[in-house]
Amino acid sequence: MAKTSLMEAFHIERKPGKITNLNDYEIFPDKNLLDQLRTKIVENLIDQEIPEDKLLNQFINDEIDKTIEGYDLTNLERSHLYNLIDNEINGYGPLTELLEDKNITEIMVNSPKEIYIEIDGQIIRDESVSFINDEHILRTIERMIGPMGRTIDASNPMVDSRLRDGSRINAVIPPLSTKGPVITIRKFKREMTSADDMIRIGSMTPYMAEFLEASVKGKCNILICGGTGSGKTTLLNILSGFIPNEERIITIEDAAELRLEKEHVISLETRVTNYDNEGEVTIRDLVINALRMRPDRIIVGEVRGKEAFDMLQAMNTGHEGSLTTLHANGAKDALQRLETMVLMSGLDIPVKAIREYIVSAIDLVVNIERMSDGKRKVTSICELENFEDGEILLKEIFAFHQKGLTPNGEVDGEYILYNETVPKVYKKIVARGITELDHMFPVPHEN
């Protein structure tokens, strides 16, 4: 009769209200002993199977009983051990509670005993959580990426995937990582799902939100740029929410993170090569294929290579209202990087022609930054105004100007709307029958 492996017992429901981390050291007199017992139990269970005539919780309790024989543990200590083992079977091991903590936005595992978390934009070391060894980290990585069809091994030592809740996981193992297996998890923030949420925390103003909503509805092509962890994907998700329900949307990502609450959405995800170094499907492949799927909108999670030209081509050939992100520090840097990416496509196109192509394709560049206090802000919304003397001219419409820091270290500044002249992009918005921005730009539209 077939037996159930511990590593296959994911369907068992976890119990709420567990005590798993040793945050309150004083209630556990001998923390080292508990760590040793956990190690013994986990290592004993790795290759075991759950007998069919036993319930999972009884099986775990029996294993704990065998291991702690001769030790005098309190009920709380025993409960702690049970929860740790339960997390190994039903969750993601030592990371389970960190993933469930809504205050934590990022988790970084550098080594078995070196784990960092980000809370409110500040990175701190969490000494209450640990892995047993490198093999323990590797098993946890495999547990996380397995359901998404991803693998990691010596021939494929780097993986970018997602968890079921939309959180992004990046893992690197030797030989690429000289320190051992490394995990970085950027958690999906369910509470940041609307422009109102960003207004509430000061990431943008109501005027900026109104303008961006009108721009999306007016089918402007928008490029979102920013540094690592600045909130590009979150902003992209929010802007996507302004797309009318009746439109057909194709999303393209390396690891599907976007959560579009829309009726007509097709999500495409890249595929890495298999063991025979075959079967790879790139962002560029998916962009080209998306054009054959009759999209009203194409949303690319992030452009970072040859697909940039195909994305621009889509924007220039009737697929208006497309959205994408790009890793860059500001609008000017973003356009320079985009230009470089087009050159990477291998096409023999003069730089001047590429810049003209960019101007005709992209309407707005939105820059979002993670400030020194850890908070995210949309610091600039600008349009590609013209192409002159071989250079792209940018016109800022909204900007955040930092004045300094408050006594408690928070960024102090103000948002500015430049409305002395009507943006060129506003004509495109009005042409779509959207006139809700008249109160922002009182200047006559004919100009």
| Span of 3-12, 317-326, 424-433 with lowest mean pLDDT | 3-12
- Residues 14, 84: Cα–Cα separation, whole Å: 11
For the chain, give every domain's residue range: 1-91, 95-188, 195-431
Res. 442 pLDDT band, cuts 50 70 90: low
Given a cut of 90, is residue 361 above it in pLDDT?
Answer: yes
Which pLDDT value is given to residue 18? Answer: 44
Return the CATH fold of 95-188: Beta-Lactamase (3.30.450)
pTM of the entire predicted model: 0.74
List the beta bridge partners of residue 108: 116, 184
Q: Can you tell me the distance from the alpha carbon of 20 to that of 129, in angstroms, rounded to the nearest whole number?
A: 9
What mean pLDDT comes out for the span 52-63?
71
Distance separating alpha carbons of residues 198 and 209, to the nearest angstrom: 9
Judged by average pLDDT, the poorest of 55-59, 140-144, 241-245 is: 55-59
- Please tell me the least confidently modeled range out of 43-47, 66-70, 257-261: 43-47
Q: Which fold has domain 195-431?
A: Rossmann fold (3.40.50)
Mean pLDDT of 86-97: 83
> Residue 77 corresponds to which tokens in the numbers above?
């200590």
Tokens 């298999």 locate to 274
pLDDT at position 274 = 60
Least confident of 11-25, 90-104, 325-339, 351-365: 11-25
Task: Identify the residue with better confidence: 388 or 403.
Answer: 403
Mean pLDDT, rounded, for 326-337: 95
| Candidate from 58-62, 184-188, 199-203 with smallest mean pLDDT | 58-62
Buried b (16+ CB within 10 A) or exposed e, 188-212: bbeebeebeebeeeebbbebbbebb
